[in-house]
Structures are given as structure tokens and as C-alpha cells.
Chain A
Amino acid sequence: MGTVAEQGPLLSVEDLRVSYRSGEGRADAVRGVTLEVRPGEVVALVGESGSGKSTLAHAVIHLLARGGRVDGGRLRFGGEDLTGLSEQQWREVRGRDIGLVPQDPTVSLNPVMRVGAQVAEVLVLHGLAGRRQARARAVELLGEAGLDRPEVRARQYPTELSGGMRQRVLIAVALAARPRLVIADEPTSALDVTVQRGILDHIAALTSTLGTAVLLITHDLGVAADRADRIVVLQHGQVVEHGPTAHVLGAPRHPYTRALIAAAPSLADIPGRRAPAARTEPVGGPGSALPDDGRAAPLLSARGLVKEFALPRTAGGARTLRAVDEVSFEIPPGRTFALVGESGSGKSTTARLVLRLEQPTSGTVHLDGADVTRVSGERLRRLRRRVQVVYQSPYASLDPRFTVERVIAEPLRAFRVGDAATRAARVCELLDRVALPAGVAGRLPAELSGGQRQRVAIARALALHPDLVVLDEPVSALDVSVQAQILDLLAELQAEHGLSYLFISHDLAVVRQIADEVGVMHRGRLVERGTPEQVLLDPRQAYTRELVEAVPGRRARALGVSG
């Protein structure tokens, strides 16, 4: 990168300020940010949601959401001042000089246009090719972005492609006009880990071949560590730290950077489990003889679970889909069993079978030695009390019209536990348990942050004193530092109440912080089981190795950075 440093900056942002209309006044989102991207350089912009990183990225291509306004500062690109450009002039910059790889590929392609046409559009718009030429070129670009059989793909609609394939289409769109800068806005956070890695590798390879500079927006320091030449850390709309990747990660000066590094799951020490102190104390206090791992009578045991779904009839196609295929595991009291796998691997279906929200095609589920596979009526209701669930998105799993108090008290009401006064007292106690102030009881979910909402969902799950809590990706929708807090809370609650967890996740980095035992699922089968250390350090299956290698942050670990 030595030659690069001597050239002038490609993009320079000076004292940029952006605000959004909010209520009567305006809320500042970016407060005087100055940064540079040199030609061919990869700069990572790191921060949590609300730090202003995405707003900054959109301000650079003059595409702020409605109500957004640039209040001051300068934007220069390749020596030219972009500050006063007209909308017409901006149109020529966008796509041709600066490309954008958006956040969520599943919603970022026009669903009624063939993907080839969406790539070709860029070339036609900027007068780089005629219609017919552009179509042929689009196929080449799709191939270059790593799609197999690009000539077939070009004629498909976005819904016919997987998330990873769609992100490759968007990469082809962003690079079609050979821009000098690409803004990648959390380009992989909506994708599976193994797919993430392939996409990031591909962006890196392509941009370095083409000499394209990249402004990479991410909340994951591990990703930034692997990919960036320099890192810029953003908090509350201001740059708190910036410098070469090794400096920022190796010798962070600002406390916020240190907190981010500590929170990043992908940067944690490999055999690192939360709250190990709580482990040594046997559950239920002294005297309750909890045998060592494995020899305890399991609280939950699943034997040979199979779930098949009927497929829509197609000529020559399979009639059923085996979503879960002969899956067996057990969870001792007070322990955490984690199921890891990508979307479609059958881990959520397994959780639904355990919760008895879905009837297995074959196999059994035992709770405390009793077969609960086919219980119904009153016995099923009793089972519901003992097994509770926390869902992935606290934005969707809380009724938006219920107050927090009503959300948490609902299971109590459903099971006619106590009267209004004792329920209110129990809600207060639960709020305290999940470290929320009693004042939130009267609020609506929309008034709380994502982390607070997830705490409410956890309080609701604990209301009936369950024995087993199924946690279905409980932290994937949250910011990294909030993730760490929620994982700490879960570990604490487990130690206090002797809870058993079935923890579903796609993220090995998160799992190794909470699980006693890990099961890796692939295409409906449990392909590998073991302690987190065994699975992460000595994976026996090729698929598990692939998963482990996909966890970002290798470069940071090599640098000796850890949380």
C-alpha cells in the first residue's frame, strides 16, 4: 500500500454534519465527521446502530432517507467538490464513480425485473453500452461476481435466487460501471456465515484486481479487522478513533473502541465462556447433588426426531422434504445445548418440535423422563408452563399494543396465576431480574431499544418459572455490545435459577460463549456434537471446519487482539 499513500485522497469528507427531521425539531445523526479514502484503499467504518455510519455512507452518494439533510461540511471526490452538485449531476456520480452494495440483498433487487436487466441498466444509464451490448456484458459481470451459469441466472428473477446469489448480483451492479469507490453497507449481515465469508472474499478480490477503493460499513470489528487497511470508529455521529487496522485493534486508545473489541464475539478468546464463576456452584445451592456433565439424568431428551414436510407437486420432484433427520440429543438440568447451522439446516424446526409447536413425523421427546411427544389437552398445557421460548426478533415478538407489564403478565394471566396485585408484583420482580427499571412497565415496546425489548421477552419467558427455555437466535437482531449484555444476563439467570437452555444460533462465535455442548446441524442432520472447544478447535467434519473458518476476526486473532 506504500504507493497508495503518496497519492491524494480519492474521497475526502470534511466536517460533515447531517440531521434528520424528528417531531418539531431536527436530530443530529452525523456531527462533524472528517475522513479520507485513498485510491484502492479499504477503509472500514465501524460503529453500532445509531452511530451514524449508515447515514454517513448515504450522505456520500447524496441518498439520504426522507427528512435527512446535510447541514454543513465538504465532500470531495477525486479532487472535485461534490458539495454543490445538482440532482442531475449527482445522478452521473452515482453508479459510475461511486457504487453501492446495500445491506439486505433479499429486499434490494427489484422483484419484477430479471437480474440481468438490473445489471445492464447501470451500463445503459451511463451510456457505457448500447442495449444489446449491455445485456451481453451483464452476463460477463454476473460471472465475474461469482455466479455459476451466469447466462441462465441473468434470465432469472431475484426470488429464484438465494440470498448469497442475490448479493453477488448486487456486487455486479455496483461494479458494473467500474467505479473508483464502492460503498459496502453491512454487505453480509443478512447472510449465513459461510456465505458471508465467500462474499467478503469476493468483494476483496475483485476490488483489489480492479483497484477500486472500498468504504466498508460494519458493526462487526472482526469483519473490519479481516478486510480493512484502516479503521474509523464512529460513536454518536463522531469519529472517536481512526488509524491503520493493526493500530486501532492492537492499541485502542478510546474506551468505546475497547468496549467494541471486548464485545465483538468473533474477537473473543476461543475457549471463552461467559460467567465461568457461576459454573462451579452447583445448581440449586449446596446439597443438591448435580452429577458431572453427561451423567446427570437429562431434563430433556430428544430421540431420533424426524420431521417431513409435503412439497408442492412438481414433475419428477421429491414429494417430501426431510427438514429434520434422525436428530438426537439431551440437555441436563442447568446446562446449555446449542444447535448451530445455517438457514435451512433444520435447527429452528428442531426447536419447534421440542416446544411441541410442531408434531414430529417420528421420534420422541422426553421431559424429565416422561414422554411428551404426543401429549395433548391439559397435559400439553402443563408442558407449556415448563418450556418457554425467546424469539429472534424482539421487534416482532412483542405485541405493539400491549404495555410491557401486560406482555410479561400475559403467561400468568393465561395460567390464572395469582390475582392482579400479585401479578403486578411478579412483573416488578421480573423486570428487576432482567435489569430493567420498574418504570418501563407502563411503556409500549416501540418506546424501548432492541436490547430492552429482548429483556422484556426474556422476562416473559421466565414468568412461569420454566425449567427449559428455548432461545431461537436471541441475539442475532441486536448490536454487538447489546449482544454481550444479553448473553451475560442469560448466563446469570441460568446460574440463579438452574435453567436449561436450548440455544439456536447460526453464529459459532456467539455459541462458544454460552454453550456447554454444541450440536452442528447440516441439511437436517446433526453432523457433529461436542464441547465448544472440541468443535471449534478440533472440528472433525468438513462442514464444521467450513463453519469455523467462516468466523471473521482471524487476522485480529493473529495480531493477538482479544476481548
Chain B
Amino acid sequence: MTRYVLRRLAQGAVVLWAAFTVTFAILYLLPSDPVELMASGGGEQSVIDPALLAELRAEHGLDRPPLAQYLHALGGAARLDFGRSYQSDAPATSLILDVLPQTLQLTVAGLALSVLLGVGLAVASTYPRTRWLRHALAALPPLGVSLPVFWVGLMLVQVFSFQWRLFPAIGNDGLASLVLPAVALALPTSASIAQLLARSLRQTLAEPYIETARAKGTGRARVHFRHALRNASIPALTVLGVSVGQLLSGAVVTETVFSRVGLGRLTISAVNTQDIPVVMAVVVFSALVFVVVALAVDLLYPLVDPRISLRRAPVAA
């Protein structure tokens, strides 16, 4: 077990390094010049003094050969120091840490809602005794998967903010402002969880051990929640791990639609201004989240299903 975790952590370190290196290479190869963008303050076509540009380059170490720049950046990243933002001059790490709580609230709320809605819909599409009702409910997830986050967001704002005035349309003020973005974020994810879990539940409910349970005198609710759900949840758990990434990238769109401060907005402005230190910090942070979530999901498998052991080859999921 310990050996397994150590091996996985080593693999995670390799993933982080690869994410860092690939991002660095791409940003370096981009045709536009970050220093010019920096000096012009984002405005177009202003003529800038070449001496100033050279000074800025020297200040941020951009006049050194690419390999030296890379090694310097890598060394910094290893100490969680990604340098100072070209735009605001604040350390990139502290920029992320400033907005992180906002995005964290949003993704955690989105994740919780996805699980709640996803499991609820999956059970609802297998539980009723009425056949047409089961079929109707089973048709919902594919519909949900195909809804784009920005469209859902706009619709929610239209109905709940402008028409019914239940929740604020924009901003970061407390719980009420979190509701609409979290729902917009959760809908597509919950649909994919519901789709997988429902199919897996239908398969599980046809297993002979479910008949054994029913022959004991078990009722419908107990069959579903005590016997079937846990057996059916492995594929859904895999999707859940992937959806954390989906939620992070969804946050970029959601935060824009709802004009929320957060990691998503920070990423967009950093990319637009080619603020390399901030972009690098965001990428490495996202990769870190992926690595940790994937490990957490893999460690959860054996707890859900005792047949899965971590001593053997990694779980093919």
C-alpha cells in the first residue's frame, strides 16, 4: 500500500514536470512578444521605446538563452516560485492563492451538486415500477451532456435573475451568488455521471445476487441502496475523477459568464497578456489537482469494492 502510494507520487511528479515543460515550450514558441504586451499595457499599436523593452527583458531574465530561462524557471517552480506577474508585478503564486478560495467554493459546490443530481437521476431512472417513467427519465442524461455550460449559465441568469429575481446574476457576494454558477457548472457533469451510473445500475440490478437479495424479502429501496448502488458505482467513480478536471475548466467559462473573480478569470487574462509566470503557475496547479484527484480515486476503489486490490497492476478503469 505505502509502496503503491510512493510509486504513484513519483509518477505524479513526472506528470507535473511534463506539464511544466510542454507549457513552457509552447509559450516560448508563440510569435507575439510578452514584453511588448507588458509595456503597452495590453493596448495595440503603441510604439514603445526599444531601450525600455530591453530593460524589461533583462529584469525578467528574458534576454538569456532559452535553456537557461527554462532551467531557471524549473528551479523556481520546484520551490513553488513561478516569478512575478508581468502585468501586476505580484508573485504568480500569491495571485493564485488570492483567488483560489472563490474557485474552490465554486468547484466544490459544483462537484457536490453533480454527485447529488447525478446519483439522484440515475436512481430515479431505474427505481420506478412504471416502465414509461423509467424510460423518460433515462433519456434526460444524454440531453444534459449536450448542454454547453455558457448557454446553461445564460439561461439560468435570464430566468432566475432577470425574470424571477431570486439570485444575483453576477458577483462573488456570499452563498446566493454561488447558486447559479454552481448549478450551471454541475448540470453537464451530473448528466455524464447519471448516464454512466444508470447504465451500470441497470446491469447490476440484473445480477443474480440481486435476486438472492430479493428472495430474502428485501424491498425495492434496500435492493437499490444497500445492494446495487455500491456495486454499480465503480464506473461512476472513474468519471467523477475526470469530472474534477471538467469542473476546473468549466469554471473558466462559468466565472466569465457570471463575472466572478476566480482562477478561471485569472487564467483568461494571463493568457491574453501572455503573462508567462501566471500561466505556468496555473498549469502546474491544475496538473497537481489532476494528479491528486486521480490518486484519491484509485485509493477509493478498494474501499468501495473489496475485489480490487492495489497490490496488483494498477486498476484499469
Of A87, A109, A125, A157, which one neighbours B212 at CB under 8 angstroms? A109
Known contacts A112-B230, A159-B307; is-contact A107 B207 (Cβ 8 Å): yes
Give the residue name and chain of the A residue nearest to B209 (CB): A110
Q: Which of chain A's residues 148-179 have a Cβ closer than 8 Å to chain B?
A: 157, 159, 170, 173-174
Give the residue name and chain of the B residue nearest to A313 (CB): B311
Of A66, A94, A110, which one neighbours B217 at CB under 8 angstroms? A94
Please tell me if the beta carbons of B215 and A100 are within 8 angstroms of each other in the complex.
yes
A61 interface hit (Cβ, 8 Å): yes
B312 interface hit (Cβ, 8 Å): yes
Q: A102-B211, A108-B209, A170-B212 are known; give 12 further A-B pairs, CB within 8 A.
A: A88-B219, A96-B217, A102-B208, A109-B212, A111-B305, A112-B231, A125-B216, A125-B217, A157-B307, A159-B307, A174-B215, A312-B312
In the bound assembly, the distance between CA atoms of A93 and B231 in angstroms comes to: 26
A529 interface hit (Cβ, 8 Å): no
Please tell me if the beta carbons of B215 and A102 are within 8 angstroms of each other in the complex.
yes
Give the residue name and chain of the A residue nearest to B234 (CB): A112
A-B contact count (CB 8 A): 77
C-beta contact mask, A92-119 vs B, less than 8 Å → 1, else 0? 1111100110111001111111000000
Q: Which of chain B's residues 209-227 have a Cβ closer than 8 Å to chain A?
A: 209, 211-220, 222, 227
How far apart are A339's CB and chain B's nearest CB, in angstroms?
30
In the bound assembly, the distance between CA atoms of A129 and B45 in angstroms comes to: 83
A144 interface hit (Cβ, 8 Å): no
C-beta contact mask, A110-144 vs B, less than 8 Å → 1, else 0? 11110000000110011000000000000000000
Q: Chain A residues near B213: list those with CB within 8 A.
A: 110, 121
Residues of B within 8 A of A (CB): 206-209, 211-220, 222, 227, 230-231, 304-307, 311-312
Known contacts A91-B219, A157-B306; is-contact A111 B214 (Cβ 8 Å): no
C-beta contact mask, A266-285 vs B, less than 8 Å → 1, else 0? 00000000000000000000
Please tell me if the beta carbons of B207 and A95 are within 8 angstroms of each other in the complex.
no
How far apart are A68's CB and chain B's nearest CB, in angstroms?
12
In the bound assembly, the distance between CA atoms of A99 and B214 in angstroms comes to: 11
Of B206, B208, B222, B311, which one neighbours A103 at CB under 8 angstroms? B208
Known contacts A94-B217, A112-B231; is-contact A173 B211 (Cβ 8 Å): no
In the bound assembly, the distance between CA atoms of A547 and B121 in angstroms comes to: 53
Known contacts A107-B207, A112-B306, A312-B311; is-contact A100 B212 (Cβ 8 Å): yes
Q: Chain B residues near A109: list those with CB within 8 A.
A: 209, 212
Q: Chain B residues near A108: list those with CB within 8 A.
A: 208-209, 211-212
A85 interface hit (Cβ, 8 Å): no
Give the residue name and chain of the B residue nearest to A91 (CB): B217
In the bound assembly, the distance between CA atoms of A92 and B217 in angstroms comes to: 6
Give the residue name and chain of the A residue nearest to B228 (CB): A110
In the bound assembly, the distance between CA atoms of A352 and B249 in angstroms comes to: 52
- Counting chain A CB atoms within 10 Å of each CB, the highest count among B211, B218, B220, B312 belongs to B211
Please tell me if the beta carbons of A94 and B215 are within 8 angstroms of each other in the complex.
yes
In the bound assembly, the distance between CA atoms of A35 and B312 in angstroms comes to: 53
How far apart are A288's CB and chain B's nearest CB, in angstroms?
53
Q: Chain B residues near A121: list those with CB within 8 A.
A: 213, 216, 218
Of B208, B217, B306, which one neighbours A107 at CB under 8 angstroms? B208
> Interface residue count for A (Cβ, 8 Å)?
33
In the bound assembly, the distance between CA atoms of A513 and B83 in angstroms comes to: 84
A5 interface hit (Cβ, 8 Å): no
A63 interface hit (Cβ, 8 Å): yes
Closest 7 CB pairs of A and B: A95-B217, A100-B215, A95-B216, A94-B217, A108-B208, A107-B208, A157-B306
Q: Chain B residues near A88: list those with CB within 8 A.
A: 219
* 5 A-B residue pairings within 8 Å (CB atoms): A93-B217, A94-B214, A95-B215, A108-B212, A174-B215
Please tell me if the beta carbons of B208 and A104 are within 8 angstroms of each other in the complex.
yes
- Counting chain B CB atoms within 10 Å of each CB, the highest count among A87, A91, A104, A170 belongs to A91
Q: Chain A residues near B305: list those with CB within 8 A.
A: 111-112
In the bound assembly, the distance between CA atoms of A442 and B214 in angstroms comes to: 42
How far apart are A355's CB and chain B's nearest CB, in angstroms?
27
Please tell me if the beta carbons of A110 and B231 are within 8 angstroms of each other in the complex.
yes
Of B215, B220, B222, B227, which one neighbours A61 at CB under 8 angstroms? B215
Give the residue name and chain of the B residue nearest to A113 (CB): B227
Q: Chain A residues near B206: list those with CB within 8 A.
A: 66
In the bound assembly, the distance between CA atoms of A173 and B215 in angstroms comes to: 10
Give the residue name and chain of the B residue nearest to A94 (CB): B217
How far apart are A208's CB and chain B's nearest CB, in angstroms?
22
Please tell me if the beta carbons of B215 and A99 are within 8 angstroms of each other in the complex.
yes
Of B212, B218, B222, which one neighbours A102 at CB under 8 angstroms? B212
Known contacts A111-B307, A112-B304, A312-B312; is-contact A91 B218 (Cβ 8 Å): yes
Give the residue name and chain of the A residue nearest to B312 (CB): A312
How far apart are A103's CB and chain B's nearest CB, in angstroms?
7
How far apart are B213's CB and chain A's nearest CB, in angstroms?
7
In the bound assembly, the distance between CA atoms of A518 and B219 in angstroms comes to: 51
Q: Chain B residues near A110: list those with CB within 8 A.
A: 209, 212-213, 227, 231
Q: Chain A residues near B208: list those with CB within 8 A.
A: 102-104, 107-108
In the bound assembly, the distance between CA atoms of A157 and B311 in angstroms comes to: 18
In the bound assembly, the distance between CA atoms of A113 and B45 in angstroms comes to: 69
Q: Chain B residues near A96: list those with CB within 8 A.
A: 217
Q: Chain B residues near A174: list those with CB within 8 A.
A: 215
Give the residue name and chain of the B residue nearest to A106 (CB): B208
In the bound assembly, the distance between CA atoms of A345 and B216 in angstroms comes to: 35
How far apart are A428's CB and chain B's nearest CB, in angstroms?
40
In the bound assembly, the distance between CA atoms of A107 and B209 in angstroms comes to: 6
In the bound assembly, the distance between CA atoms of A103 and B208 in angstroms comes to: 9
How far apart are A310's CB and chain B's nearest CB, in angstroms?
13
Q: Which of chain A's residues 15-51 have a Cβ closer than 8 Å to chain B?
A: none
In the bound assembly, the distance between CA atoms of A95 and B206 in angstroms comes to: 19
Q: Chain B residues near A102: list those with CB within 8 A.
A: 208, 211-212, 215
Q: Chain A residues near B219: list those with CB within 8 A.
A: 88, 91
Q: Chain A residues near B214: list those with CB within 8 A.
A: 63, 94
Q: Chain A residues near B304: list those with CB within 8 A.
A: 112
Please tell me if the beta carbons of B307 and A63 are within 8 angstroms of each other in the complex.
no
Of A63, A125, A157, which one neighbours B211 at CB under 8 angstroms? A63
In the bound assembly, the distance between CA atoms of A554 and B112 in angstroms comes to: 63
Of B207, B218, B306, B311, which one neighbours A159 at CB under 8 angstroms? B306
How far apart are B262's CB and chain A's nearest CB, in angstroms?
38
Q: Chain A residues near B230: list those with CB within 8 A.
A: 112
Q: Chain B residues near A91: list those with CB within 8 A.
A: 217-219
Please tell me if the beta carbons of B216 and A173 are within 8 angstroms of each other in the complex.
yes
Please tell me if the beta carbons of B217 and A122 are within 8 angstroms of each other in the complex.
yes
Give the residue name and chain of the A residue nearest to B220 (CB): A87
Give the residue name and chain of the B residue nearest to A90 (CB): B217
In the bound assembly, the distance between CA atoms of A66 and B86 in angstroms comes to: 66
Please tell me if the beta carbons of B231 and A125 are within 8 angstroms of each other in the complex.
no
Give the residue name and chain of the A residue nearest to B309 (CB): A312
- Counting chain A CB atoms within 10 Å of each CB, the highest count among B214, B219, B220, B230 belongs to B214
